[in-house]
Amino acid sequence: MNTITTKDGTQIHYKDWGTGQPVVFSHGWPLSADAFEDQMFFLASRGYRCIAHDRRGHGRSSQPWNGNDMDTYADDLATLTDKLDLKNAVHVGHSTGGGEVARYIGRHGTKRVAKAVLIGAIPPVMLKTPANPGGTPIEAFNQIRAGVLGDRSQFWRDLSLPFYGYNRPGAKVSEGVRESFWLQGMMAGLPASYFCIKAFSETDLTEDLKKIDVPTLVLHGDDDQIVPIADSALLSAKIVKNAKLKVVKGAPHGMCTTLKDMVNEELISFIKG
């Protein structure tokens, strides 16, 4: 297996497919690099080097107790890009991975970065506070914590429905996709599954977004039930300098899977543009 080791000894597993300009993928919670295989195969088949890592605690990476926070996630990504000596890379982040990309640029700059893509991404901040009145109340995240601790396996199975919009009238449900979501969720260790909730819900990424100085695509579904668009993409697109906002009508949070052909075309046209 391809792995790199971080300064605290955590082993980070990654996939490395194809050759050409690097496209680096940061996945959402509680998934793994597998969530981006449709995009990776598409782009690797068209002359790009596609790299996706399992975030610490997730997938095939180590499951440490410590470091399940956005700063460490960003530093792990920096270690990966440094050790692979990636230059002129396009960084694509979905959901929590979008926060990881923003914090990576905020902490490490864009000397290795050509472009950024935020898909269904959590920035600027998810939690409802007096400063962020449109956010999601803490009670919702406490319910997620309770679900993870109470019966993680059933929680992942249930979460797959709103994640892919399968709970909407007339939705064409793929039980295979739901099982893949469940399997990826069960591969994540309990510490990462639990502590990452605080990381993705309470980390304020506003200042990181202000530091993004490369072309950026903000791609979001207007029926995203996991990261509601009004308090995420619509705000991020205003904060990131010259960001391109693409709202996909009716698209769910998991559109990289359910609308993979559309997402693939958006990615390649933005990368080439």
- Tokens at residue 73, please? 């996630």
CA distance 127 to 108: 25
Catalytic residue among 27, 91, 108, 253: 253
How far apart are alpha carbons 262 and 264 in whole angstroms? 5
Torsion of Cα atoms, 256 then 260 then 262 then 267, to 10°:
60
- Is 69 an annotated catalytic residue? no
Alpha-carbon distance of 70 to 197, in angstroms, equals 11
Strands 113-119 and 244-248: unpaired
For residue 190, is it left (φ>0), alpha (ψ between -120 and 50) or beta? alpha
Catalytic, out of 54, 208, 224, 231: 224
Residue 139's Cβ-count burial label (10 Å; 0-12, 13-18, 19+) is exposed
Q: Specify the DSSP class assigned to residue 28.
A: P
* Annotation marks residue 253 as catalytic: yes
**Residue 34 — φ and ψ, nearest 5°?**
-60, -25
Distance CA 120, CA 255 (A): 8
Amino acid at 185: G
Check: CB of residue 94 under 8 Å from CB of residue 27. Answer: yes
Catalytically annotated residue among 95, 160, 232, 236 = 95
Residue 94 appears among annotated catalytic residues: no
Residue 95 has φ and ψ, to the nearest 5°, of: 60, -120
Task: Confirm if 129 and 234 have CB atoms less than 8 A apart.
Answer: no
User: What are the backbone dihedrals phi and psi of residue 272, each rounded to the nearest 5 degrees, phi first?
Assistant: -75, -25
Catalytic residues: 95, 224, 253
